[in-house]
Amino acid sequence: MKNLFKVFVVAFMVMASVGITSAQKVGHINLQELVTFMPDAKKANTELDTLQSTLLREIDRKTNEIKVKYDAYKGDMAKGTMLPSIQKTREDELNRLQTDLQSFQYQAQDDMDKKRTELFQPIIKKATDAINAVSKEKGYSYVLDSSAGTILFSTEGDDLMPSVKTKLGLK
């Protein structure tokens, strides 16, 4: 009789927890896609494209400088009249220019990453604030970011994209 009572209590607790869980609303939204709709993101991408073009022009300029100096070095070496001390100086210069170019490329990538973060952080905050507001208004317990790709299984949930786009004034 005691065992039957324990089984009944456990079964009741499991059924009660399922009832509580099923009462919670779950929604989803693709945060990446939402951000792409925002005018601020388009402006940020334009600014990043401009910065990237500037950096690429500088990389091309430095690469061409190395090529010109290397071609001159090869030409002088082919003549066979270059003194060992001049050869060493020019090789050192070419190595230094190559190292400087690589350093510049790493720094440029770091600058781009920092600028991207600087530009998109407020945009993402604006989007998440709108998601939070819509979620509270509509009584959601959980909202999942479908752009993160971490949803392995989902029954039909509510897509909050239309409501959040309206909240942000997007079409």
Per the structure, the count of domains in the chain is: 1
Q: What CATH number did the domain enclosing 162 receive?
A: 3.30.910
Residue 46 inside a domain? The answer is yes
Q: What is the mean pLDDT of residues 33-37?
A: 93
- Per-residue pLDDT band for 22 (boundaries 50, 70, 90) equals low
Helix ranges restricted to H, the chain: 2-22, 31-37, 39-79, 84-138, 161-168
| pLDDT score of 151 | 53
Express each pLDDT in 61-115 by its tens digit: 999 999 999 999 999 999 988 899 999 999 999 999 999 999 999 999 999 999 9
Residue 49 inside a domain? The answer is yes
Residue 18 inside a domain? The answer is no
Residue 9 inside a domain? The answer is no
Residue 94 inside a domain? The answer is yes
Residue 11 inside a domain? The answer is no
Query: Which structural domain range is residue 112 located in?
Result: 25-168
Give the long-range contacts of residues 98-103, CB within 8 A, separation 24 or more: 98/66, 100/62, 101/59, 101/62, 101/63, 101/66
Tokens of 63: 């690469």
Express each pLDDT in 10-20 by its tens digit: 444 444 444 44
Residue 6 inside a domain? The answer is no
Q: What percent of the chain has pLDDT over 90?
A: 56
Residue 106 inside a domain? The answer is yes
